Amino acid sequence: MPQVQESLLESGAKEVWKVIPSAPEYVINEYGQIKRLTKAQGTFVGKTLKPSGKRYLRINLVVDGKRISEFVHNLVAEAFIGPKPLNCTTHHRDEIKKNNYYRNLEYWDTHTHKVFHRKNQQLPNGEKHYNAKLTEQQVKEIRTKYMGIIYLTPERRVNNASKPVTT
């Protein structure tokens, strides 16, 4: 069974297909299209599978007689980048979850990946948060009352008063 197959597209560009290491009955191209290499019940050799999913594309494969569901970006990375290191996730460089081109994918350790997304997401905070019970003014009043802190206005911060004044 060949590990790499090449075919010509209508535009004349080469299309590279590689065997998926975790599912050797299938090949995948650099864009995430998947074809079956072997005949099976209800399908034929060369059938292109259709992924589904709202955020990430997912595909159902049959490996050793068992049905498995995998994210397409993980299969592309496995075939074109190599095996996923322990405690890593597959990251989309352009943040477009359905862009599974192999050059758009990279492995990140799970912690770095979570921190990156936490910093890049503009999550509402303060009274804009959906679960807020107090306004920012109410929070300042409570803190002033119980901690004795006088909060500085933006004008006072500019005038070299960068630290809160205690009473």
- What was the pLDDT predicted at 107? 92
Q: How far is CA 35 from CA 19, 41, 99, in A?
A: 10, 15, 18
Per residue in 13-55, pLDDT (tens digit) is 688 999 999 999 999 999 999 999 988 887 888 889 999 999 9
Per residue in 81-130, pLDDT (tens digit) is 999 999 899 999 888 999 999 999 999 888 888 777 777 766 666 787 77
Where are the alpha helices (H) located in the chain, listed in sequence order? Answer: 72-80, 110-120, 136-147, 154-158
Residue 157 has pLDDT above 60, yes or no: no
CATH architecture of 4-120: Alpha-Beta Complex (3.90)
Q: How high is the mean pLDDT of the chain?
A: 82
Domain boundaries, the chain: 4-120, 126-159
Q: Are 78 and 99 in contact (CB under 8 A)?
A: no
Amino acid at 86: L
pTM: 0.65
Q: CA 57, CA 120: separation in Å to the nearest integer? A: 22
Residue 162 has pLDDT above 60, yes or no: no
